[in-house]
Amino acid sequence: MTDHADNITANQLIDTISRMATTSNLKVVGVCGPPAAGKTTIATVLAQTLNHIGIQTVPVSADGWHLSGAQLAAQQLTDKKGAPDTFDVDGLAATLQRLRASTRHHNIYLPNYDRVIHEPIAARTVAPPETQIVVLEGNYLLCDRDGWGTIGAMLDCCLYVDTPAKLRHERLTNRHHAGGKTLRETNDWIRRIDTPNTTLVEQSRSHATWTCDGQSMLQNLTYLSQPCP
C-alpha cells in the first residue's frame, strides 16, 4: 500500500479497476474502514457495477473468517467479538494466496458471515474460474497487529471508506438493537469494543491506496450499476 491515500471518485475507481482487470491474473481489491462505515454495502454495489460492465467480480467479507461462537466462548473472547484477534487471520491469508495463485480452472469456495445467526458459514460464496476481481471488505485489512499486516500486503489496492462519526454511531446503535442488545448493553459495547476498534482502523487510513466519502461513493456507484434507459 502507500503512505498517503488520495481521494477517489466512483468513476475513477471503476476506470482504475477496469484497467487492472485486463491482466491475466485475478486481482484482489480491498474496501476497509471503521465499524458501520458502510463497507459491506459499498463492496456489494462496487461488485454489481463491475459485473454490470462485464468484469467478472465477486464480493467477499473478511467477517467470513470470524471465529465461531463456540471458538469465541472456548477462548474467552465472546465479550470482545469483532476485535482484531477474534478472526482466523491465517486462514484469510491462505485464501488470498490461493486466489492470487488461481489458474482459473476451478471454483474457489469462500466463507461468508450470516448476520441472522451471527456465525460464519463455510463455502457459502463461490469465485468461479472466470472471476477477474475479488472485492474484499473488512475493518482491519490495513492494520498491522494480530497478524493483519500480512493481509494488506496481499491486496492489489485498497479503498478506505470515510463516514461521519455521528452516522456510524447511529448505524451501530441500530445494529446492536436489531441484534437483541438493550440500550445499556449497546452503549457499553460501543464504548468497550467499537470505539477502540474504530481508533485502531483510523490509524491505518494512510496505508490505503485511496479514500472516499462513503455516502457519495455509494450514491454514485449505485447510479453506475443501473441499466441504461
Domains assigned to the chain: 6-219 (3.40.50.300)
- What pLDDT score was predicted for residue 23? 85
Our measurement of the distance from residue 207's CA atom to the centroid of its chain's CA atoms, rounded to an integer in Å, reads: 15
Chain position carrying cell 469462500? 110
Task: Name the nearest CA neighbour of 21 among 46, 44, 55.
Answer: 55
> At which residue does the C-alpha cell 488461481 appear?
102
- Regions of the chain where pLDDT drops below 70: 1-4, 228-229
CA atoms within 13 A on the CB side of 199: 6
Alpha carbons 169 and 42: distance in angstroms, whole number? 18
pLDDT at 228: 65
CB atoms within 10 A of CB 85: 14
pTM (2 decimals)? 0.95
Q: What is the pLDDT of residue 199?
A: 97
What's the pLDDT score for residue 125? Answer: 97
The CA radius of gyration of the chain, in Å to the nearest whole number, is 17
Question: Longest Cα pair distance anywhere in the chain, in angstroms?
Answer: 54
Query: Residue 102: which of 34, 163, 28 has the closest Cα?
Result: 28
Angle, vertex CA 209, rays to CA 190 and CA 155, nearest 5: 85
Q: What's the pLDDT score for residue 4?
A: 57
Alpha-helical (H) ranges within the chain are: 10-20, 39-52, 69-74, 89-100, 149-152, 165-178, 183-189, 195-202, 214-224
d(CA 75, CA 78): 8
Helix (H) or strand (E) holding 22: none
The pLDDT value recorded for residue 217 is 98
Distance between CA atoms of 64 and 96, rounded to whole angstroms? 13
